[in-house]
Chain A
Amino acid sequence: MALVDNPASEALDGTARVIPMRGSAAVRGWEHLRTWPTSLRVGVALFLTIAVLLVLTPWIAPYDPAAQDLENRLAAGSPAHLLGTDHLGRDVLSRLLWGGRYSVSIAAVTLVLCSVFGTVLGLLCARIGGAFDELVMRLTDVALAFPEMVIAMFLVAILGPSYGTLILALVLTGWTPFARLARGLALEINSRDFVEAAEALGMSRRFIVFRHLLPNALSPLLAHAALRFGHKLIAVGALSYLGLGVQPPDSDWGSMLADGQPYMTRLAGLVVYPGLAIFITALAVTLIGQGINTRRNRQG
């Protein structure tokens, strides 16, 4: 069974799926869940697992991630250290969990800022139009031309490496797709018949925005956000890998990978595990994004 639903096969099984509205809330919830595409289900399950692990880290991490044990450095996996120890004898599993909190939370904060800022600007563009629209759209052209890594490095050169710099750099280059998408969606939805009908019925602007615009724009925006999350996670890791992101004594998956690389011939896990963590997390959110899109296409 492929993780990713094939859009082609969906057309065959029809678009109308009636959800029977009976039984308890749990049963209805389960019925609803069954209409989710496989990719969405797998993605959500994976991501929830990761999120729970990272939230519970202070309680479940077996060791202090900074505790060194030089007698026991570069040890292979054992019952005491499940994933082994790094070049300073620190427990790899504990460091993975703590590092994940930095990686995922920085990527999430960046993404939220990008999507809120971009969406609001995009909606304003569609609403106000005219010179404002033109100005913002040209600004997206400019921002789109900035190579993300280069701008991030340039900002680090000016401001020095810090969480603020990291987030600023990624937001500066990352808000544009959201602005364009939101603007396009708003224009498209505004031209639909039901909005015209609502307007003809004399509904207030606010009613139209909250009843028609937002619900219809939400799922494509969410899908886009999920698809961008993996990208952000990888970009945060890249900057940390280069030593320009998360700074010691803190470390995230990217800096763990960089730390482990000189020792990878002795213990491949030092490189394999942090990369695998980024990969699985990025994959989970990508599956969620694709799942939402598939579901939306199905519903027509």
Chain B
Amino acid sequence: MLYLLRRVVVLLTTLLLVSFLVFMLPYLTPGDPARKILRARTGDLDLDPETVERLRIEYGLDLPIMQQYWNWLKDALGGDIGISYTSGRPVAGMLGSALANTATLAISALLFALVVALILGTIAAVKRGKPADSVITTITQGFVAIPEYWMGPLLVLVFALNMGVLPSAGWKGPLWMILPCLTLALRPMSYFTQVTRASMVDVLESPHITAARSRGLSFGETMLKHGVRNALLPVVTLFSVWLAGLLGGSVVVEVIFAIPGMGRMLYQAITNGDVPIIQASVVCVVGLTVIITTATDALYRLINPTVRTSHGTR
């Protein structure tokens, strides 16, 4: 309970810290902060100096900085984050669809990675020390060293440009998801496989497997009923860690395949200097990451009482 409380304190501190940094963005970048903030609030591009003066007081930009932060935070929590410089639309509305696209991409890539990893990891564990194990272990460890910005263009070159069987970019349907998912799944897949193999090896050596086999259960039945289930826990934890990571980490893949997700939105906002979008997407991604990791941790402790120690493992 104390542990959970601490995690929640960390979560809130992180969010406060990040939101303050993000709030300060117009002040930290070159240019007149008042103009940048007013542009984000009103969507007006060219304000004459008089209007700027009038609006400065109207929007409270003459208040002390902490007071301004408080007002900004209240607005943001109420869903009013400002108006995008480039599209002229409220940022809050743009966030939703971007987030949905990124989540779809990340979850489908991770599910694919998980299924492949469970199969490969189990085979490697069962055939431990045999050629099949060496091949799987070597290949998956090699995959860790493959950058997405290499695999992505190569897949596009082969399957879209040369063979013409899959679309090279865009986000219009399941067919458009195949290449980005493959690209994104590669690295998590190799980590998942390694973890599955390791925990499967442990499970296979445990007495209850021997007991199940000696009770006359077939090998396949034993694996399904006693093996996979026990080996799954560490992999599931890793799954959510990766999910949190990919919310912000799929930038490269989203840019390569022109997917309108969070990462690409943030990337474009940074190249265009679109302050309100940068603010919203950074807070959103960091917030979600912290919430997911904290929730996973809490859940893991709930399921597995052996890690419920206050010290030593943290």
Contacts and interface: CB of A to CB of B under 8 A. Distances in A.
Interface of A: 2-4, 6, 8-9, 137-138, 141-142, 144-150, 153-154, 156-158, 230, 234, 237-238, 241-244, 254, 257-258, 261, 264-265, 268, 271-272, 274-276, 278-279, 282-283, 286, 290
Contact of A157 (B25, B248, B289): B25
Contact of A4 (B17, B21, B137): B137
Contacts of A244: 270
Given A142-B14, A150-B282, A275-B154, A237 B149 contact: yes
B234 interface: no
Contacts of B151: 275
29 contacts: A4-B134, A8-B201, A9-B129, A138-B9, A142-B13, A144-B293, A145-B244, A145-B286, A146-B286, A147-B245, A149-B252, A150-B281, A150-B282, A154-B22, A154-B278, A154-B282, A157-B278, A241-B149, A258-B149, A265-B161, A271-B153, A275-B150, A275-B153, A275-B154, A276-B150, A278-B147, A279-B150, A283-B142, A286-B144
B248 to A, nearest CB: 3
A92 B3 CA distance: 55
Nearest to A161: B270
Given A138-B10, A158-B25, A282-B145, A242 B251 contact: yes
B249 A145 contact: no
Contacts of A254: 149
Contacts of A257: 149-150, 153
A300 B246 CA distance: 36
A278 B141 contact: no
Contact of A145 (B129, B135, B290): B290
B16 to A, nearest CB: 10
B105 interface: no
Interface in B117-134: 128-129, 133-134
B267 A153 contact: yes
B137 A145 contact: no
B145 A2 contact: no
Given A157-B270, A290-B141, A268 B147 contact: no
Contact of B29 (A158, A237, A279): A158
A129 to B, nearest CB: 11
A150 B248 contact: yes
B191 to A, nearest CB: 12
Interface residues of B, number: 59
Given A150-B282, A150-B286, A279 B141 contact: no
Contact of A137 (B147, B281, B293, B314): B314
B150 A286 contact: no
Nearest to A2: B134
A157 B9 CA distance: 28
B289 A234 contact: no
B134 A6 contact: yes
B149 A238 contact: yes
Contacts of A3: 138, 141
Given A3-B138, A6-B137, A241-B252, A150 B144 contact: no
Given A141-B10, A268-B157, A271-B150, A147 B249 contact: yes
B138 A157 contact: no
A78 B267 CA distance: 38
Given A2-B137, A145-B14, A279-B150, 8 more contacts: A4-B138, A138-B6, A141-B7, A147-B245, A150-B286, A238-B252, A244-B270, A275-B149
B271 interface: yes
Contact of A147 (B13, B154, B285): B285
B246 to A, nearest CB: 9
B247 interface: yes
B236 to A, nearest CB: 19
Contacts of B150: 257, 271, 274-276, 278-279
A127 B148 CA distance: 40
B266 interface: yes
A158 B286 contact: no
A51 B146 CA distance: 20
B255 interface: yes
B266 A2 contact: no
B59 to A, nearest CB: 22
Contacts of B261: none
A144 B271 CA distance: 26
Contacts of A6: 128-129, 133-134, 137
Nearest to B255: A242
